[in-house]
Every structure is written in C-alpha cells, then in structure tokens.
Chain A
Amino acid sequence: QAVVTQEPSLTVSPGGTVTLTCGSSTGTVTSGHYPYWFQQKPGQAPRTLIYDTSNKHSWTPARFSGSLLGGKAALTLSGAQPEDEAEYYCLLSYSGSRPYVFGTGTKVTVL
C-alpha cells in the first residue's frame, strides 16, 4: 500500500517563497494521481487550495500554485503572508482498494 510523504516542517520569511512536496512510495507522482492540496489551521476543518495538480479553488490566493516537480506533486507559496501559517496536506488518488491516501502533512511557519 502506498505511503505519501511530505516534509514535516518548513519555515519561510514573510514575502518569501517556499515549495512543499508530496511523494509516493509507489514511484513518480503523475497527473493521474489527481493531486490535492489542503490547508488546515488549528481548530478548523481542512479546506481545498489546489485540486487536479494545479487548479485553484475560488478562494485560493494567487500566491499559491500547484505543479509536478521532480516526480512529486508540489505546492509553491510565493510571497508568504503571516496568515499562511498552517498545516498543509496533500492527497493522492490511486486505483484499487485504497483510492485515497493523505500525505503526512507539512507545518509551515512564517517567520
């Protein structure tokens, strides 16, 4: 069964750029995994930032973008703001009996 791995924590300066990645133990992440990225702040439900690799939700700030990078799914935050401090999770879709697997999560600190 697939294990989806993210960086445990990343720190970015205000106004800076950071890239989070999402890798699969089964190999290269492709568009066929329909990668999602979710943002979750303490005490809140997750919310969708990116779906289908690079599509933004209506509320997703322009500073967030999704892509495939080096065999992984990637979420890039360009021009970080204090309100971007949060936990970020990716989600990959797989064929077979376990269609969804969440990543381990990345805690982003803006400091």
Chain B
Amino acid sequence: EVQLVESGGGSVQPGGSLRLSCAASGSTVSNNYMSWVRQAPGKGLEWVSLIYSGDNTYYADSVKGRFTISRHNSKNMLYLQMNSLGTEDTAVYYCASTSGWETAMTWGQGTLVIVSS
C-alpha cells in the first residue's frame, strides 16, 4: 500500500516562498494521480493541485500562477513550490495519491504552513 510523508512546512512571511515535499513508498508517483490538498485552521478541505499522466497539471484558482506542482520520478517525490504566499495560504497541506479517478485515495499526515509577519 502507498505511504506518503510530507515535509517542508514551516513559518514564512507574507510574500515569501516555500517548497513542500511528499515522499512516496509502496507505489510510484509517476503512475499515480498525485494531489495537494489543504485545510486552513478550523476550515474544510480544499483541493489545491493535481499532476498525472506525464505533465498534466491543474490548479485551484486561488493558487494559479503562484504555486507549481512537480514530481521527481527517480526519487519518487512530489513537490509543491509555493510563491507569493499570503496569510490566506496558512493551512495544513496534505499530499494525496490515487491510481485513477475511480480508485481509493491515500493521504499523508500533512505539514503545517504558517504565513505571518
């Protein structure tokens, strides 16, 4: 079974950048639909970005132009480069994986990003 471990969270000032990482084991990121999902404090889940089948990438409107999803197949890693961060980006960021639209989704434990001056 796939296991996902996120890292890279922390505190950053508004306007700053951060790169999140997700290490996958038990399956390859290149074969899966890999997503980032976030949850602001006390709020619901928000899908952020998806990468699958080569370089098909999608973004929520709230992060388009600021965030970039990518993967390193040989390292079996997923990344989220976050630029121009604002306080509204404060959240726990989860890595999630599924092998297709119709299959179960596996989640990591999340990494906390705090954007504050």
User: CB within 8 Å of B: which residues of A?
Assistant: 1, 34, 36, 38, 40, 45-48, 51-52, 55, 57, 87, 89, 91, 93, 97-105
Contacts and interface: CB of A to CB of B under 8 A. Distances in A.
B102 A89 contact: no
A86 to B, nearest CB: 13
Contact of B107 (A1, A46, A87, A100): A46
A93 B98 CA distance: 13
B50 A55 contact: no
A102 B103 contact: no
Nearest to A52: B102
Given A34-B101, A51-B103, A51-B105, A46 B94 contact: yes
11 contacts: A34-B101, A34-B102, A40-B45, A46-B94, A48-B104, A48-B106, A51-B98, A52-B103, A55-B104, A89-B44, A91-B45
Interface string B28-48: 000000010100000011110
A102 B45 CA distance: 6
A94 B88 CA distance: 25
**Chain B interface: which size bin?**
20 to 34
Interface of B: 35, 37, 44-47, 50, 58, 60-61, 94, 98, 101-110
Given A34-B102, A45-B94, A52-B102, A102 B108 contact: no
A47 B2 CA distance: 13
Given A46-B94, A98-B58, A104 B101 contact: no
B44 A104 contact: yes
A46 B45 contact: yes
